[in-house]
Each structure stands twice: as C-alpha cells, then as structure tokens.
Chain A
Amino acid sequence: MYNRRFKSILLSGLAITTFGAGAAQAAGASGTVAGTQVNNTASVTYTVGGNAGSANSNQSSFLVDKKVNLTVAEVGGQATQTSLGATNQVTTFTVTNNTNSIQDFRLIADQQNLSIPIIGVDNFDVTNERVFVDSNGNGVYDAGVDTKTYIDELAPDATVTVFIVADIPNTPGNNFAIVSLTAVAADGGTSGSLGADLVATPLTQVDDPTKVDIVFADGVSYGDLARNGQNRAGDAYQISGTTLNVLKTATLISDPVDGIIAPKAIPGAIVQYCMRVSNAGPNTATSLNLTDALPANMTYVPGSIVVGTAGVGGANCILLGTSEDDDATGADETDLYGGSWDGTTVRAMMPQVTTLVPMAVQFQATVN
C-alpha cells in the first residue's frame, strides 16, 4: 500500500532513491514519508591477538508517523472587486499539503455573518456560496471545468488552487462580505473519492510499532485552532463604485414688486438654483465636474456661483462653501472648489463627494 504511494512521489520528482525493505525516502520540506521504517546498524572493527575482526550490531528501528500539517492561504492579498447582482464571483485560495504523506482535503466554504471591528467591516452575505478545486491548474476558475469540491490525493509539499464562487445579492448599501475557506485533512490513498477526516492517534492508545500513528502539527490560523488537522484563511468581496444623485431645485428669492416677501416669478424676479449632489456609495466619488445650462428666458446673475457642502435645501442651499467668480482661472478655482460661467452654462468642480456629506452648487438668475 505504501509502496504505491512512494512510487507516485518518486514520479513527481521529489525523491530519487531506490526503495525496498527498510530504505528511507529522501525528504522534502514535509520530511521523511510516513510509513518509512528507519533502521540503524553500527559496526566495529578490532584486533584480538593480532587478528583483525569485525562485528555488526543489531538493527534498531522506528517507524515514521504521519505528521499532519497544511496551509490555506488567500491569493492576491485584496478583496475581489464586484458589483451588485453579479453572479459566480470568485475568491481564490491555495491549499498546501505540508504532511509527510499524500492526503485528501475536505473543503468548507464559509462566510462571516457579523461585522467584527478588528477583522474588518462585513455588511452583507453572499448567496449560493460554493467551493471548487482548480482541476486544470491554471489558477483561474473555469466554470464547468473546475467542478471537484474536494482535494484528491495531494502529494507532500504540493499546492493546489481552490476557488470560492458566490453570487452577490442586489441590495443597495452592500459593500463588503468576508468569506473563508477551511481545509480539513482527510485520508488519502484512494483516488477519485474523498477519504474520511483524519483523527489524531490518542495519547492513550496502546503503542503499536507497526502501525503509523497520526500526529496533528498544523498551526493556528484565522478562526482556527492549532493541531486540529485543519487550516483556514479569509478573503472578501467588495462592491466598489459610486451611486451619484443630483437634485436640482429652483427657489424664488425676490421680485421687483414684492421684494423678498412672497416673491412671484415675474420679469426681473431673482431665482436661486440649487443642485444637490449626494453619493449612495459605497465609494467616494472624486474629481466631480457638474454642468448646468441656463434655461431659456433667464439671465445669469454675475458672480452668483457658490460651491460647498449642502445645506437643508431651498434658500439654504449651501452650508459651508466658497464663492466663485465667473472666469475659469484664478485662485478661487482651487480653494477647495471651483466654478465658472461661460455665457450659456454654469460649471462647478468638487474634489470629492463622500457618502456622508452631500455637496451643492448654487447660482442665481433673473427672469427676463
């Protein structure tokens, strides 16, 4: 049984040694292959009464046990960028068999259901979460090709890529979902089927020098204990982009007859236009350029452009802003915000609009 395993290791180029009864295998990083019998024989040479003699010792031996170790790692170091409603979105992991024998690995795709401040924001859950092994080894998820849901017969020190594939629900406000992959060391030896989860040989078990014991030697990982035959790594889906909304309102400020008390839209009345820009996120919008053509039968009021953070609306369009002159040059263009009038169109520039603070552009015109 073990000889067959050894053969496949030899073919993989890890070890080029002859083997037979008692021959130890050359070791990779994971060490001497489990099941190897390590035999020791010493010898002496001497002379007695002028005659040379020699003797060999007995053979002292031990059996190499299975030292189970594995590593699950996230690939890329970044969240998978995705969008609302997207299907079959992929996060990528690798699973490395650091065990000194061929193992199967059971795979568990999981996700975080609440936001833990230290680990990071998690404000939605993916749906239809599945896990697949990269069967053709190209590092990219191929739907219909990468269909195996467990790792079969992974050689010592070998690494395989594993994908979590999931759908993103179409719920505005979703931004970040943390998922994780757990690999559980399982019995190898039978190709084409997933072996049972390995169980560490209990310390109380009566020692059998002919039977390979199982020793768990895996480390601690994300939400995973040491020495449990499992390893886990996290990854995430991030919904990026911005959702901008512009609301334009017109408010009568005064008219030539009634002044500011109950003004009417008569010729000569001053109308204040307010364009409120809000961002539903999830990302901050940057380098905004807002344009608004003046309606017909209106005359722009020179020097009336104000750009800044939005007020409550109506006559209180701007909470905190900067006044802009009508040309498109000068220090006023970069004093946080910019604005200009080219004879037909009002332009406003804002460096950014966050999801928290809406911005606004205000200008005035008179009715012809």
Chain B
Amino acid sequence: MFLPKTLIVALVATVAAPAIAGPVDLVTKVLTEKRVAAKDGTTRVDLKATGHAVPGDKLVYQLTYRNTGTQPVKDFVLSNPLPQGVNYVAPADGSPAPELSVDGSTFGSLAALRVKGPDGALRSASSDDVKVVRWRLAQPLAPGAAGQVAFRAVLR
C-alpha cells in the first residue's frame, strides 16, 4: 500500500481520538434488565452490567457527563448513535426524553419524524426507526457539575 504521508497521519489521528483532553468527561454504560422473582411472588426488574444479552433483552444505556474544567460549558449537545442491532425504546425512568432522529440530521419527537417505506411513500416513524438520540442542555454546565441521561433499548 502506498499511502500519502498526510493520509497516514490522518488515520492515526482518527484511531487515537479523543486525542485532546477537554473539560468534559463522558461515560457510557450498558445495563441489561433482569427479571428477578421475589419471595413474595412479585417480580422485580434488576439492572445488571453483565456484558451479555440475547435477542429480545431489554437494555438501558446510561450516559454520565461532568464538567471537569474551570469554566462553564455552553451549547452542550450529547448524542448517541444507536449501535447496530439495538432498537430505541423510550427514555429511562428519571431521565429527560431525548430528541430523536431517523437520519442523523433532523431531530424531533417521534411523532414529527417520517421515514420512507419500501414503496417509497413516507410513513410515520416508529421507535425502531430511530438511529440517533440527542440531548441538549438549555443551561450552561457549571464547573464541577455533572448529570446523567439514560434511555431504554432492546436487542434485536
């Protein structure tokens, strides 16, 4: 392979990203819902980070962010493209609802989104069509401030 030197540099930079340590720390965590039968006959849903799932399993993705810098962070936009094989379901309990996108560029509520069906006609989007979820913080994130958003998903 004869690659121009500049391209090699660019590739290295891509692999090494994030190269520059910014003032924002972002951690993602995936949990699987496990139904646990309690002794009193009820069923409790536990969230566990097992590292395993089978098709149909319910997942919760948690995104934790923190301003590690000394200045407020503004225009904070947190986006999470859904991994292949994972379908969006809903915001997790206690989390603000994300804006959704079926194409990665137009965001809105599910009701506002349209997708092209196999016959070429536009139809209302379903949660299975969601490709990217996004949260925008209205207020600047103060130094040292942190927060968490989360969404529920299912493994196809």
Contacts and interface: CB of A to CB of B under 8 A. Distances in A.
A30 B55 contact: yes
A48 B67 CA distance: 10
A46 B75 contact: yes
A38 B29 CA distance: 12
A225 B23 CA distance: 56
B109 interface: no
B74 A24 contact: no
Interface of B: 17-18, 22-30, 32, 50-56, 59, 61, 63, 65, 69, 71-81, 83-86, 141, 155-156
26 contacts: A24-B84, A25-B85, A31-B54, A41-B80, A42-B28, A42-B79, A43-B80, A44-B65, A45-B76, A47-B75, A48-B73, A49-B71, A53-B24, A54-B22, A55-B22, A55-B25, A56-B17, A56-B18, A61-B30, A61-B51, A62-B51, A62-B53, A64-B53, A64-B54, A65-B52, A207-B52
Given A38-B83, A46-B73, A57 B28 contact: yes
Contact of A47 (B25, B29, B73): B73
Specify which of B22, B25, B27, B86 lies most central, judged by the most chain A CB atoms within 10 Å of its CB: B22
B144 to A, nearest CB: 14
Interface of A: 17, 23-27, 30-32, 34, 36, 38-49, 52-67, 100, 207, 209, 213, 215, 217
Contacts of B54: 31, 34, 64-67, 100, 215, 217
A60 B155 contact: no
Nearest to B32: A62
Contacts of B155: 31-32, 38, 64
Contacts of A66: 54
In the A-B complex, the 4 residue pairs with the closest CB atoms? A31-B55, A209-B51, A24-B84, A24-B85
